[in-house]
Amino acid sequence: MESALLLVGSAVILGLVWKGAIASRDTLHLIGIAGTIAMIVGQGYSARKRTGLFRSWRIKEVLEHHTTLGVAGPLLVLAHTGLEFDGVAGLSALLMTVVVASGFVGRYIYRRVPAREKEEELESLKKRLEEGGENVEKDVEGLQRRIRDVERRLAYYRRMKRLLSNWRTLHIPLTALFFITVAIHIITIYYY
Ligand code: HEM
Ligand code: HEM
């Protein structure tokens, strides 16, 4: 519910900027700060995943917040740009868009990777089927078909896992590069 509100609110703000109803520099500036903070808070997912922080939060929920903030934040930042994209700030906005698009690709893959229990369950099923093979004499073909089916599912899961890992190898450096350009943009604004 809060997520939907945040997304709709951000989209409305972007719409208002687009229509010229919000044009004050100070307001656009504040919107940029809000959007940047939203994206930084969204990185709490990495903290939850890789450190001992936020243990009381379920990882699934944190990933949902990551997604919401990873869309709402960029919408606000897009509003902040006043839809002008010059220099480092423009590059930053471009990288941001790429990272968000990549996030959707990542989500597509992530949803196809099973929980570890599921994979273990399939592995033990496969073992049981293979061991049972000698005892079940009549439906050998049926048994072999079931084993092949389980093997296919396991192979699919492993492929998705590898794909997710490769995706992360691209996505994390992109994110780092993005935040570096944001830092340059902010430093440039305050020092010049
Ligand atoms: C992801 C974060 C951000 C992105 C991608 C971004 C991008 C941009 C872009 C594309 C512009 C328009 C540049 C132009 O006029 O050609 C802009 C303007 C501006 N940004 Fe950001 N921005 C971000 C965050 C911030 C933050 C956090 C601040 C302040 C702390 C900030 C301060 C400003 C200011 C003051 C301007 C107006 C400059 C002017 O009107 O001359 N931005 N930003
Ligand atoms: C500004 C926007 C975003 C940034 C900076 C960002 C950044 C990141 C980073 C750095 C990771 C790696 C986390 C880790 O392994 O420690 C990640 C993972 C992920 N992000 Fe995003 N992301 C953004 C938006 C999105 C969006 C919009 C979605 C979904 C539509 C999304 C979905 C995911 C998924 C599914 C993962 C993989 C989770 C995992 O394998 O543990 N992200 N993101």
Question: Does the pLDDT of residue 136 top 60, yes or no?
Answer: no
Cβ-based neighbours of 178, under 8 Å, separated by 6 or more: 92, 95, 96, 98, 99
Mean of the per-residue pLDDT values of the chain: 93
Report the percentage of the chain scoring pLDDT > 70: 97
Minimal-distance CA residue to ligand 1 atom 11: 81
- Protein residue with its CA nearest to atom 23 in ligand 2: 70
Q: Which pLDDT tens digit goes with each residue over 153-183?
A: 999 999 999 999 999 999 999 999 999 999 9
Q: Is the pLDDT of residue 187 over 60?
A: yes
Q: Which atom of ligand 1 is nearest to the CA of 178?
A: 1
Nearest CA to ligand 2 atom 1: 70
Would you call 112 helix, strand, or coil by DSSP?
coil
| Residue 36 burial class via C-beta count within 10 angstroms: exposed 0-12, middle 13-18, buried 19 and up | buried
| 104/127: higher pLDDT | 104
pLDDT of residue 134: 56
For the segment 8-35, what is each residue's pLDDT rounded down to a tens digit?
999 999 999 999 999 999 999 999 999 9
Contacts 24+ apart (CB under 8 A), 16-20: 16/79, 17/79, 17/82, 17/83, 18/79, 18/83
Least Cα distance to 93 among 35, 45, 38 occurs for 35
Q: Which amino acid is at 129?
A: L
- Give me ligand 1 centre to Cα 9, in Å: 20
State the Cα–Cα distance between residues 110 and 165, nearest whole angstrom: 10
Index of the ligand 2 atom closest to the CA of residue 107:
35
Residue nearest to atom 9 of ligand 2 (CA): 172
Atom of ligand 2 nearest to the CA of 96: 1
Task: State pTM to two decimals.
Answer: 0.91
C-beta 148 within 6 A of ligand 2: no
| Six token digits for residue 81 | 């740009």
Residue whose CA lies nearest to ligand 2 atom number 41: 49
- Calculate how far, in angstroms, residue 96's C-alpha sits from the geometric centre of ligand 1: 13
